[in-house]
Amino acid sequence: MVSLTQVRVPRRNRDKLQHTIVKKAGRAIEDFDLIQDGDRIMVCVSGGKDSYALLDVLRVLRTRAPISFELLAVNVDQGWPGYEPERIRAFLAAEGIAHHMVSKDFASIVEATLGPDATPCSLCSRLRRGVLYNVAQELGCTKIALGHHMDDLIETLLMNLFYSGRLASMPPKLHSDDGRNTVIRPLAYVPEELLAEYATERQFPILSCACPSCGLPDQKRQVVKRMLTGLERENPGLKYQMLAALRNVNPSHLLDPRLTLQLPE
């Protein structure tokens, strides 16, 4: 996990940092047609650095875009003891951002469903996705924006490769199976380190989800993250090469008959 330092970034460098992040997000939005005129976008704000940065970036882009779209920040309190959604509410209110707060009790469901040594991440993810999909419909939102960034995409690719036997990552644009919702990830091209630096400068009120299992060193994502950090240290730019690979797929050089049988002779 990228740590947030308390070092202040000079104004000139801060403006450059925001410009870099906004430019990368704008490119992803253009490449994958993530936002259309008239969209009402539900921005999921968990209290982490990535979701705060996503909200900030979309606010900047809204002032510059040739189209009109709305933003609505939504927070889901999953019910873990120690989580402080009021800090998020206070920040959003102070910034004049339209917001909607949701309270659920995932903690009781997880405790009743899983054993004491089980990792709840997968179950929590499914529960949270169901809540977000329903809330988006209730609030008339046409898109659900998540703060997943470049590192998340690369880590997911390796996790699927190593542990699930699949070549798959997180798509920048995803239509739900039931056709009700469209999920977008505008930060798909933005590396985590830039978001960490930006969150420090903007002094976002960072919260963890308060789940006792979150970020444990033996979690598969944390194992993959440490491995990538080491490889990147030895091979600077490796993550960008992996991102490029996700944009440069050659189906004829893979072993999936569903792909190769569709190729022309």
Q: Which secondary structure element, helix H or strand E, spans residue 25, and what is its range?
A: helix 11-32
- Quote the tokens at residue 49: 């650095």
Question: What is the C-alpha to C-alpha distance for residues 29 and 187, in angstroms, rounded to an integer?
Answer: 9
The two tokens of residue 234 are 């030895």
Pairing of strands 143-145, 40-44: parallel
Q: What pLDDT, in 10s, does the model give residues 129-184?
A: 999 999 999 999 999 999 999 999 999 999 999 999 999 999 999 998 888 899 99
- The DSSP symbol for 165 reads S
Which of 166, 139, 33 is closest to 76 using CA atoms?
139
Whole-angstrom distance, CA of residue 154 vs CA of residue 135: 29
* Domains parsed from the chain with CATH numbers: 11-213 (3.40.50.620)
Q: Give Cα separations from 152 to 53, 80, 116, 139, 255 (angstroms).
A: 15, 23, 27, 28, 25
Outline where DSSP puts E strands in the chain: 40-44, 70-77, 99-103, 143-145, 173-175, 182-184
Hey, is 199 helix, strand or coil?
helix
Q: Tokens representing 102? A: 């949701």
Are 213 and 107 within 8 A, CB to CB?
Answer: no
Between 4 and 67, the more confident residue is: 67
Res. 200: pLDDT tops 60: yes
Model confidence at 215, pLDDT cuts 50, 70, 90, reads: low
Q: Which two tokens mark 34?
A: 């993530």
Residue-wise pLDDT for 95-114, tens only, equals: 999 999 999 988 788 878 87
What average pLDDT does range 72-79 have in this prediction?
94
User: Number of C-alpha atoms within 13 angstroms, CB side, residue 156?
Assistant: 14
pLDDT value at residue 8:
43
Residue 34: CB atoms within 10 A of its CB come to: 22
- pLDDT tens for 28-38 read 999 999 999 99
